[in-house]
Amino acid sequence: MKALRTFRKNYELFLLTVPGMLFLFVFCYIPLYGLVLPFKDYRYDLGFWKSPWVGFKNFHFLFSSEDALRITRNTVLLNALFIVVLLVLSIMFALMLYEMSRKFVKLYQTIMFFPFFLSWVVVSYVFLAFLDMEHGFINMLLQKMHISPVLWYNEPSYWPSLLVSANTWKNIGYFTIIYYTGLLGIDSELFDAADIDGASKLQKIKNISIPMLKPMITMLLLLQIGKIFYGNFDLFYNLTRDSSLLYSTTDVIDTYVYRSLKGVGDFGMSSAASAYQSFVGFILVIVSNWIIKKYDRENALF
């Protein structure tokens, strides 16, 4: 009865949630029946439900191959680098923007945010203009300096740093603006009081800015940790031009699933890899939130 009274009192607000609830139901809950696919030997002639059940055979095939360790290592390590580098640099840039004159902030925001709107396909061709083996700008510069050109798309050792640089360049503006808006929400009286007490810039950052941004940092970190097993397919596929010589350092779960599905047409193994991503990502979010809750309960996500 209490729930019914609450609904009658706030039915306009409940009606506003209907489109969002329908969206979640259609695109997030109905597709959950696909979770049985990793446990089946999918056959086109039998269809989804009549295909034979094979249990964990698809997972066994995935993890018994040498590829499983490589794609898992690459996915986790590269995404961890993306998270750490973006976190540190975006907070630094947000703090610098906050100290600038408001007259120039919009200009810098626009310059930093512009790469975020570029497609990874476009970015891949920009990188190709620099890294092309014959006509790339860097190799032409090396030749003029009488240095042997580098076969960038044949040398896997260069690509972890190249991928981190590309991801940072494209996304740093987005995260910088998020942290900058968080800084704008801090009560200016706190900074005024710190100025009266003679606090330096670094002391204000350490004792006011960073602590006040901690809830936002925690939330974004948890969301990113939840996707640490999901490689950005557009980034890893387009930027590397799917060069097989680079797989040792650039092949991630998403590109592996794509090639498996495209080349072999094995829906069971491909969906097993995707289910593996989702399950481990879910566990990581739960564990990360539990650790945060244990040491700083107020900043936990749930």
SS3 at position 273:
helix
Q: What pLDDT, on a 0 to 100 scale, did the predictor assign at position 281?
A: 78
Of 227, 246, 226, 248, which is closest to residue 238 (Cα–Cα)? Answer: 246
For 119, what's the count of Cα atoms within 13 Å in the CB-facing half-sphere?
A: 5
Report the C-alpha gap between 54 and 51 in whole angstroms: 9
For 166-188, give the DSSP string.
HHHHHHHHHHHHHHHHHHHTS-H
Query: pLDDT 10s digit of each residue in the chain, 302 long?
Result: 677 788 788 888 888 889 989 999 998 888 888 888 888 888 777 877 788 888 888 887 777 777 778 888 898 899 999 999 999 999 999 988 888 877 777 788 788 888 888 899 999 998 889 988 888 889 899 888 888 888 899 899 999 999 999 999 999 989 999 999 888 888 888 888 888 888 888 888 888 888 888 888 888 888 888 788 888 889 999 999 888 889 989 988 888 888 877 777 777 777 888 788 888 878 887 888 787 777 777 766 67
pLDDT reported for residue 222: 81
Residue 121 · residue 234 · CB < 8 Å? yes
Q: Encoding tokens for residue 47?
A: 């269809």
- Reading the block at residue 188, the tokens are 């200016």
CA distance 75 to 96: 31
In angstroms, the CA 266 to CA 68 distance is: 16
Give the tokens for residue 262.
């495209």
> Which residues, including other chains, have CB under 8 Å from residue 10's CB and lie 6 or more apart?
none
Beta bridge partners of 53: 40
How far is the C-alpha of 286 from the C-alpha of 252, rounded, in Å? Answer: 23
- Report whether 252 contacts 74 (CB < 8 A): yes
Buried b (16+ CB within 10 A) or exposed e, 69-100: ebbbebbbebbebbbebbbeebbebbbebbee
